[in-house]
Structure 1
Amino acid sequence: MRHEGVPIIDMLKQEEGSILVFSHENPDADTLGSALALYLFLKKKGKKVKVGCKDRVPHFLDFLPHSDEIIELPTPEVFDTGIIVDASGFYRAGTEVKAIKKVRIDHHIGGEFYGIYDYVDPSAPATAYIIYQILKVWDESAIDSQIAECLYAGLATDTGFFKYSNTSAETFQIAKELVEKGADPHRTYMMFSERESLGKMRLISKVLDTLNLYEDGLIAGIIVYDSFFKETGTTYPDSEGLVNFPRSIEGVEVAFALIEKPDEGVWKASLRSKEKVNVANIAQKLGGGGHKYASGCKIKARSTAEALDILLSAIKEELKQEYSQKVQCPA
């Protein structure tokens, strides 16, 4: 294990006060799986720990062990230590978190740093991978089947069930170890991917009607209007994964889903890249972040047209830089 993980282990072993492990808003499997795994492990170690999230656990993640123990944030309690997982900073909780000591465990590039207890490794395929390394060094025997299930869910989904470019031989090795400890690959896939509602199917139908290509097919995108959720009886979490439809089109290098969020007065943009373009650069220019192949941001705009123009301008700029660099490279 890399030496960066040692300080956080020592700190947590010595912590006698209250601990909050929490996820980013609009949670995915990596943030909730990582948070729950660390929470369950710390409970086994006798720590005074809670696990929290601003948003309700979405249907596609309610199979995670002990997800019913996640408390709703914000809470008036002031914790001795607050640990955000799979996020670029405390602000990604989407609400206030009161903690005397701040810690970040993450695999995103950049973001906020709080001190020597942070463990940020952008080369890791998922935050669940980092959590597993920490727990394995601390006490591998304490990683039971429920902790393994949480970690496997995070690792599997953040690698596209081992299809994305962040999948390596070591990723498979970690998955193997988690399965040996009790994770169930078939159940995880079924619970995550094959429990869609009829409303979600109708939402997909409406969203696909907005599908458009730009820049001679290098860019593809969809728009998810708030009215679509109301008309189909769905909610924002049901937009999870919709960006993969435009991404699957042949010839597309950058895909996006532009999702209306009137409650926040913003449009949420989910960005995906197949290979050549670093969408993290696009997201960062618009105040967001993420990875080379999967990133996101929020856009403040008065209309759909304005939000779309802002997003497309940033994507086109990155495409132009990427292709101009290729042209300038010597043969």
Structure 2
Amino acid sequence: MTALTKSGLTKSGLTILGLETSCDETAASVVRRGADGRVEVLSSIVGTQFEQHAPFGGVVPEIAARAHVEVIDSVAAQAMRAAGIGYDALDGVAATAGPGLVGGVMVGLAFGKAVALARDLPLVAVNHLEGHAVSARLGAEVAYPFLLLLVSGGHCQLLEVGGVGACKRLGTTIDDAAGEAFDKIAKSLGLPYPGGPALEKLAQAGDASKYELPRALLGRKDCDFSFSGLKTAAARIAAALTTDQERADLAAAVQFAIARQLSERTDRAMKLYAADHPAGERRFVVAGGVAANGAVRAALLKVCQDNGFTFDAPPLAYCTDNAAMIALAGAERLAAGISDDLDAVARPRWPLDEAAALSNPSNSFGRKGAKA
């Protein structure tokens, strides 16, 4: 292993192997973070499990975990070959340690520990959400601090990101995430898995004004989200539809409703954020799988323009789960002198702002709710 300087960086920077297995993608990536902070993705391999889960219309945790076990070694080997380096060129290993489907998380974390132990490399146990938080930095130089909307199949949060490990939660979903709503409503419409992209495609032929869907939490002035009512209402309407045009209209209405709620809550968060940050720090980042949706991006871009914020999003390849974002999060932690012991545990739940999660939980005990 190359010796680290006091700052955590060698003269040429850090080269990190990243591993991601929190849901149904088995991913590995090699990322180089230069001493000047510039980022270069040397490889990014993502193995999907669409065929295994398609018959069930969603991810089956047991099937996902077994699939990760079967391919994690070959996916990592592909990433190393594509990067054109050997393990002796690595400065560290970063693996998702949560939150996620814990059986899958354990696979990638255990593989990362094995590489770290065998090669005498530092291990970084990465919060999957922190990976999404830094993912926009894979395609552009996005400086800290910034306001983040993390929106995916399992997570929906607004966070003030001040730097590595410094996140303050401004809002979160109190029930379902936006990506889950997209997927479950798509299933109600008879669309194939994964449902979000299929619903977006169907919505292109629809008229969003044909259906009026409920708007959640209108009496509240905070930045929290709720999509369960929308999901239920859309499923009931979908059960009575008889034509393809009706299905397209409902898809368009659902997409509009989700984009509207995301943009309204983001507008509130921007006003709170702007009160404490000068114009030069008013940066907005949207990350997560739903960030790939064109209608959502357009709505958020307008909110940024209205509030004087810059807009950044990861390249489309890094919106959904990938290992490049995990490698970058690991590199930034190593650069700050942060690493983990080999007894790091896999965590099914792991909020970025643990203080806020403990003092103001989004769900009371005994109720199903948001995954983070």
Question: With CA pairs under 8 Å and 6+ residues apart, which has the higher RCO, 1 or 2?
Answer: 2
What's the TM-score once normalised by structure 2's chain length? Answer: 0.29
